[in-house]
Amino acid sequence: MDERVREHAAVLVDWSARIEAGDDVVVSVAEDAHDLGVAVAEALGERGANVTTLYGSDELSRAYLKGAEAGSEGDGDDGSDASDDGDASDDGDTSDDGSDASDGAAPVFDDDPAVDRAIFEAADAYLRIGGGRNTTATADVDRETRRAYATARKGVREARMDTDWVSTVHPTRSLAQQAGMAYEEYQDFVYDAVLRDWAALADEMAHMKDVLDAGDEVRIVTERDDAPDTDVTMSIAGRTAVNSAASVAYDSHNLPSGEVFTAPYDTAGEAFFDVPMTIDATRVRNVHLVFEDGEVVDFSAETGEDALESVLDTDAGARRLGELGIGMNRGIDRFTDSILFDEKMGDTVHMAVGRAYDACLPDGESGNDSAVHVDMISDVSENSRMEVDGEVVQRDGTFRWEAGFEADE
């Protein structure tokens, strides 16, 4: 085994998740992430933690969801009495029985199944190791099916996010392919991003957190000849920024990380996201959003607009921002069509529609609520500025505490 796999496991278990003896740890291992799963299991055994391993296979998920679609068509041989009237009045977010849905409707899923709920209610930590064999393995699952499934599992998701959860990936051939890179080249890319001096990066990012914590309003402007302008403002008053240093000790849940993020509200204006992304296995490019009174009132995408629309229609919160993030990890040197890496890259900012992270909110206050959280990224390396309360904090990718920063154009 490549020694970097064991180093990755040690960072995940010790720096990121802060596992201690006696902790009940749930590990999800994707199809091709076996080697990192083995290294993590070994580390957990050494630390005296308990481990339960889930199989995080996209192909199994796809099969289950396609099976549910077939079952909901009422053509089963099990004597079920699915109605055939086509009057599908349930849209998947209110029904709670396990019976077949009507023809043409999305399958109906049980709300928060008992086993999955019990797992995350009992777990201290959840380590998700991504890395399948095909990043588009679920491409032929209907969007309505995905939405119904996600909506039915909101309680499971919340229980999971109440653990010390960390999401990482094992470098696989499918992720290398998605990144357009050779396998060994991609391995180097991943380990360069993961095996860092995280304590030092945390110190660096503390500057940005201080600015956002003290500020009330953020404005982001980009002016480019080849794309629609961005000019968007949002309130961050009363919100707390997270210094996302790849550790639960910093309320940070991604490995690698390297961003500072907060939970904005009252967003207004227009924003353009030029970094390509994949939503539900669909390629989405050049997203343009128009906000009024905190809500997306108009949208377009050059490709994948249907996937974007499906996200925005998930629920009321899916049209409001849950996150504004500032990428500060200059160890990540290219876009690889993976949100885990792309959103952390220096010279980028990102906004997510959907669920806000509790860590950004005052105790007892709830932020934007949704079954989804979908990040969209803008390159701010040129012709851009970010202002906090009218003062420029970052221009053309350079922060004001860095050499070369210019306050005025």
Nearest distance from C-beta of residue 192 to a second copy, angstroms:
24
- Closer residue to a second copy in complex, CB, 103/266: 103
Distance from chain centroid for Cα 41: 25
Please give the Cα distance from 89 to 66 (Å, whole number): 21
- Closer residue to a second copy in complex, CB, 129/220: 129
Cβ-in-10-Å burial (0-12, 13-18, 19+) of 407 comes to exposed
Q: Are 257 and 170 in contact (CB under 8 A)?
A: no
- Closer residue to a second copy in complex, CB, 249/297: 249
Please give the Cα distance from 315 to 372 (Å, whole number): 8
Q: Are 344 and 378 in contact (CB under 8 A)?
A: no
* DSSP secondary structure code for residue 356 in this structure: P
Nearest distance from C-beta of residue 151 to a second copy, angstroms:
15
- For residue 155, what are its two tokens? 């309680």
- Closer residue to a second copy in complex, CB, 164/342: 164
- Closer residue to a second copy in complex, CB, 112/213: 112
Nearest distance from C-beta of residue 108 to a second copy, angstroms:
8
- Closer residue to a second copy in complex, CB, 122/182: 122
- Secondary structure of 107-141 in HEC code, one letter for each residue: CCCCCCCHHHHHHHHHCCEEEEEECCCCCCCCCCC
Distance from chain centroid for Cα 196: 21
- Closer residue to a second copy in complex, CB, 34/285: 34
**CB atoms near residue 164 (< 10 Å):** 19
Q: By the criterion CB under 8 A, which residues form the site for a second copy?
A: 21-22, 24, 26, 29, 31, 34, 37-39, 41-55, 57, 59-61, 63-71, 76, 78, 80, 97-100, 107, 109-110, 113-119, 121-123
Nearest distance from C-beta of residue 331 to a second copy, angstroms:
25
* DSSP secondary structure code for residue 345 in this structure: B
Please give the Cα distance from 61 to 63 (Å, whole number): 5
Nearest distance from C-beta of residue 194 to a second copy, angstroms:
20
Nearest distance from C-beta of residue 25 to a second copy, angstroms:
8
Nearest distance from C-beta of residue 116 to a second copy, angstroms:
6
Region for 288 from its dihedrals, namely left if φ exceeds 0, alpha if ψ lies in -120 to 50, beta otherwise: beta
